[in-house]
Structure formats: structure tokens, C-alpha cells
Structure 1
Amino acid sequence: MARIDILGRLDTDTSVLRARLASLARQQATGLKAELPGDLGAQLPRALSLRAEIARRDTYGTMIGQALSRTEATQQALGRLAEIAREFGDKVAVKLDPNSPDTLPLAASQARQALVEVGQLLNTQQGGEYLFGGSDFSNPPLPDPEGLPAGGMATQVAAAIATLGPGNAAAVSAATQAAALDDSAGTTPFSAFVTDPSRGGTEPRRSIVAADGMTTPVGLFANRNAAARSAGETTGSWARDLLRGLASIAALTPAQTNSPEDFRALADTIRGGLQSAANALADEQGALGQTEAQLANLQSRHAEMHDSLKAQLAGIEEVDMAEVLTRLQATKTALEASYNVIGTIGTLSLVSYLR
């Protein structure tokens, strides 16, 4: 009877060891303390909370990464637009001289080419989305960039400049500004969406939620400033100023040099508008650069918090592998010893047991 009791207790102990061995083997294979979340017991609410926070940080990080990709492409476009504004404001427009009418055809040709490039830059896309089109991601903010040199705005500018004569430089400049500001169909180079005051014309900048309670504007517009404030000879928009200046140079012919003083006054207006565009573009780049730095800092903080939260979650869900291996080996040894004892007792005869 004592022998049966001993075997029963050994069998029970062996079952416990086998269960422990199976659990440790599973932990070794998965690295997790529990096979199912519910097996975490009192730690489950904390684990679920940590998982939710980790997912939230991941989402913020992903959104910021996408936004930074867009702002990087936007910065490249802004950089080239600024180069064009400086090139024509500081070089081409400076050389506009009534005493050198033979240089005007080349300047006009260069300006027409630049008009097309500006239109293409304002139609820059990233990830299949137009960066300067506001919330109209799928359609170009300038429907026909190649047609800009012969478009409605350029035609009106050319018509105004063709009237340049004694004493009317100010009126001609005002007319070119009005043409650049004209949003009527057939004149404006911009899409109906971005000029519509009930849609893109007044909508706020595209923004992302970069952290709890923090909305960061990142979007720009093809027809109006975002963060920059234009000053000097300006329409109030660096894009319109740039288009106006280029269209004005493109419209110049030797005929306008017949009124030298008015030509010089108009040339000064053109230079002033292009300089205003260049300055505002620099401000736009600077403001967007600050936004990029802020977003990059937030992304880094989200990543650091993500790692910290993962470590906390690991402390709840994951095992110490070195400890598991040690316990696994000890359990194997104990189980083997238990089997040996059972085997030995099983071979004992009643006589040997009574000795």
C-alpha cells in the first residue's frame, strides 16, 4: 500500500513537471510568458493599454514620415522657383535697357521658357498627389502649364505692355498686376478649384495631426501664399508675382524702348515684383523648414517613446530567455530523475521492498 502511495505521489509530481516542461518549452519557442492574452491575468489591462499607446505612436510616426516626404518634394520645387525668381530679378531684368533693344528678344524667349517651367513646378506631385493644389490632390492646380506663354493672363499682360508710351508706365504696371490677379475663366492660369472662393480659394492649409492636440500645417497653394507675407511690388502672392514678372519680360519688344523713361520705370516694376517673389519664396522655404524640423523632432520623440513602451510591454509579455533556459534544463533534470525513481520502484519485488 505504501508502495502504491509513493508511486501515486511520484506520478502526480511527474505530471506537474511535464506540464512545467511543456510551458517552458513553449516560452522558449515563442519568447512569451503566456500563450493567450487572457493568460496574463492582472497584467492584461496594462498590456492592452501599452499596446494601444504603441499603435498610436506608430500612427503618428507614419503620418509624420509621409508628411516629411511631401515637404521634401515641396522644398525642392520652392528652391527651383526661388532660383528662377532670382535669376530673372537679379540678372535678366537688371539688363533691361532701352539703349539695348536687341537684347529683348532673347530675354523674352527665356521668360517664355521659364513660364512653362514655373507652371510645371507648381504642378509638382509626390505620391500621386499635387503638392500645390490644396485639398484637390488629384488635379493639377495649373491645368495647362505649357500654354502659359500664350494663355489669358500672359495675353492681357502683353496687351498692356504694348500700350507703353510717354507717361503711362504706372498705368501699364497696374494693368499687368490686375491681369495677374484676375481669376476669371479664360484669364487665370489656375484651376477652377484653387480660385473658387467657396472651395480651394479660401480653404485652410493641409495639416497633419502630429501629436495629441497638435495640428501642424504643411500644405501650400499654387495661387496664394501659405506662411510667407509678400511685400513691396506685389500682388500679395509670390506665385502671381513670379508669373507676372515673367509674362511681362516675355511681352517686351524693341518697340517699347521708344519711350526710354517709361521703359525704365516698367523695368523697375518688373524687377521689384520678381524680387518680391524671391523674398517671399525664401520666407516660404524658411517657414516650411521650421515645420520640417519640428516634425522631425516629434517623430524622434515618438520613436523614443515607442521603444520605451515596447520595453515596458516586453517586461509584461516576454520572458527572460536565459532564465527560461536555466529553468528548462533544471526541469528536464528533475523529470528524468522522477522517471528513474518510478522505474526503480516499479522493478522492486515485494521481497526486496520488505528487506
Structure 2
Amino acid sequence: MSGGISATGYALSDLLLANSQQVSQRIATLTEQSSTGLIAQDYAGLGQGAATALDLQPQIARDQAIQTGIAAAAGPMGVAQTALSQIGTLATGIIAQLNTLNGLDASSVGSVAAAAQSALTQVAGLLDEQYGGSYVFAGQDSANPPVPNPGSILTSGFYAQISGAVGALPTAGATATAAATLAIAGSTSPGTTPFSATLESLAAAGDGRTTVETGPGQRVAGVMLANRNGDAASSGTSTTGSYMRDILRGLATVASLTPSSLSAGGFQALMQDTRTSLNDAVGAMSTDAGILGDRQTQLGKTATLIGDTATALGNQVADVTQANLAQTATSLSLANTQLQASYQLIAGLPKLSLVQYL
């Protein structure tokens, strides 16, 4: 009889010990979940949820990278639009003064030229606007200024050559002078162009703008280069094909006027060409700025959509990887109670009699 009781007691003891070990392991798992907030530290511990996490996490990471790229592009785009607006204001201000030249005397030409010199220097500086330490109009060469030494543009080869052409107006005539300034403004040669050699190379190679990823295999253009139109085409008969070159040309032409220019035979014709060219350039630039603004707005909408998608996917991953802390706390408390009960039963086994057992 006692042997039977002993055997049964050993069997029950083994069962209780095995159960307590299982409960202890359960407590360890629940304690780790409570501490980390995660169901498991590796995919193996996620069970069927591992497939969901493995499938969705790469897409979430990709979406987050796209969001980051769009956010990084928004700043330069905003700075560029502001700079283009200021350049347009400076150019239209000079256009307005050109409209009054018919009634000016020789002494007043100097004040118009001074205003154009100031505007030219300011435009050169605006083309070197930065965001986060990067030059916004420099495209893929964003570490370097598109216009080297903008504050010295009035002593540059570009300005000197434009001034020389305008100075020859009395003998060359308006047509030849306009053609000469057009050629100078369109030149990419070092010593003539006001733009950096790298920027000229990028433009010659076919744009050189930065791009922004909007989805797998999908990208849109960022800010235009200082020396090349973005999306709008220049129009008119007196254009280099680049509205910024045309603006610099027009301002430099007016900046080179002297009191004696007023008496030159081709003065009014040259001013008409300059006024028309500047108007056309400002129009093309405004169109380009508008397109850039629309693109920035669309990028913002894209980022919001991608963010919503990433959040939804993240919630799906969280469902299979993150522990329910409230439920975990309840389960942990229950497991501790179970473990204490097991220990009490194990401790009381030697005191069991056959009658107590039955």
C-alpha cells in the first residue's frame, strides 16, 4: 500500500515540477515582453506573425526613406521660389525705369544705371542662395556656388564684356550691340560666363538637376540650375534660351549705360530690345517658379499619402511584434499565482497520506 502511494506521489511530484518549470519559463517570457514591449527578440519567436513582419518592414523602411527625401527637397524648393520671386521684382523694377528713359536727360541715365548695377549684384547673390549649407540652384554640384564671387560681378569678365559692347553702341549700332551682348550672355567660356565651370558642364550634359524619389522607380525634378531653365521654355527673338542669362544680360546692359549713351543713334532700339528680352525672361521665370511650386505642393501630398500608408503598415507589424502590455501584466500576475500554487503543492507532497490522497 505504502509503495503504491509512494509511486503515485513521485508521479505527481514529477508532474508538478514539470508544470512549475513551464510556468517559470512562461513568467520569464512575459517579464521580457513587459520590459521590452516586444513579443519576441527574433523572428522565430513571432510564430505565424514572422511572415507579416518580414514582408512589411522593408516596405515601411522604403516609404520612410521616400518621406525623408521629400522633406529634404521641400526646403530648397521653398528657398528657390522665394529667390526667383525676388529676382523677378528686381528685374521688373529695372523694366519700369526703362519705360521712362524717353523722358530722361543725360544726367538721369546714371541713376538708372546705378539701380541696374545694384540689381545685378543682388541677382548674382540670390543665385547663390543656400539651404542647409547647400546651394539650391547648383543642382548636383550643391557644395559649390553657381556664381563664384557674386559680390564682384561688376568686375567680372562677363560684365566687362557687356560694358564694352554697350560702349561701342554709337559706332556699332543697336542691332550689332544687341547681338554682341546676346553672344556674351550665352557664352559658357571661362572668363566670360558668370557661372561656375561645373555648373556649365552640368547644363551642357542635359540638366544636372537633383531629383526626388516619389515611389519605386519614380522620381521628379528638383530645383532648376541657375544657368538653365527648369520646365518652362524661353520665348522671344532676343533670348539665350536661359531666362536667367537673359536677366543678367539685360541688367548688365542697363548697368553699362552712361550719360553719353542717350545720344547714341541706336539707344532707343537697344533699350527696346533689352526691355522686351527682360519681360520675356521674367515671364518664363515666373512660369518655371509656378511649376516648381505646384511640384512642391504635389510632393507634400505624396508624402502625406506615403506617410498614411507607412502608418497603416506599421500598425500591422505592431500587431504581430509588439506585446499587449495590459494583457501581459494580467498574464504575468496569473502565472506568478500558478507558480506559487505549484510550489505549495510540491512542498506538501511528503505530508500526503493515502486518505488525503484519495
Same structural fold, with TM-score higher than 0.5 when normalized by the shorter chain = yes
CA 341–354 in structure 1, closer or farther in 2 if over 3 Å, else same? closer
Deviation, 1:353, is 4.6
Distance 1:321 1:221 in 2: 53
User: Would you say 1:87 and 2:77 are equivalent positions?
Assistant: no
Query: Which residue of 2 is the match for residue 57 of structure 1?
Result: 63
2:3 is matched with: none
Alignment of 1:17-56 (within 5 A): 17-56=23-62
- Name 1:282's counterpart in structure 2: 286
Aligned to 2:199: 194
Q: Normalising by structure 2, report the TM-score.
A: 0.89
Out of 189, 203, 206, which is 1:203 matched to? 206
**Residues in 1 aligned to 2:104 and 2:357: alpha-carbon distance in whole angstroms:** 133
1:220-276 per-residue CA deviation (whole Å, 9 max, x = no partner) reads 2121211121123422211111111111111111212224x7322222222212212
Structure 1 residues 55, 354: closer, same or farther in 2, change over 3 A?
closer
* Structure 2: distance between partners of 1:38 and 1:351: 46
Aligned partner of 1:333 among 337, 342, 345: 337
Report what 1:77 is aligned to. Answer: 83
Instruction: Give unmatched runs, 5+ long, in structure 2.
Output: 1-5
The 1:235–1:212 alpha-carbon spacing in structure 2 relative to 1, beyond 3 Å, is same
Q: Which residue matches 1:345?
A: 349
1:117 matched to 2:122: yes
**Residue aligning to 1:234:** 239
Q: Deviations over 1:54-73 (max 9, x none)?
A: 11111111111111122122
**One-letter identity of the residue aligned with 2:139:** G
Cα gap change, 1:99/1:314 in structure 2, threshold over 3 Å: closer, same or farther? closer
CA distance in 2, matches of 1:309, 1:92: 59
State the AA in 1 paired with 2:81: Q
Paired AA for residue 344 in structure 2: N
Trace 1:154-303 onto structure 2 (pairs within 5 A): 154-165=159-170, 168-196=173-201, 199-204=202-207, 205-232=209-236, 233-259=238-264, 262-303=266-307
Deviation at 1:98, TM superposition (A): 5.4
Larger deviation, residues 16-25 vs 244-253: 16-25
- Does the 8 Å contact 1:64/1:295 carry over to 2? yes
Query: What's the % identity of the aligned pairs?
Result: 32
Matches of 1:140 and 1:81 in 2, distance apart?
17
Which 5+ residue runs of structure 1 have no aligned equivalent? none
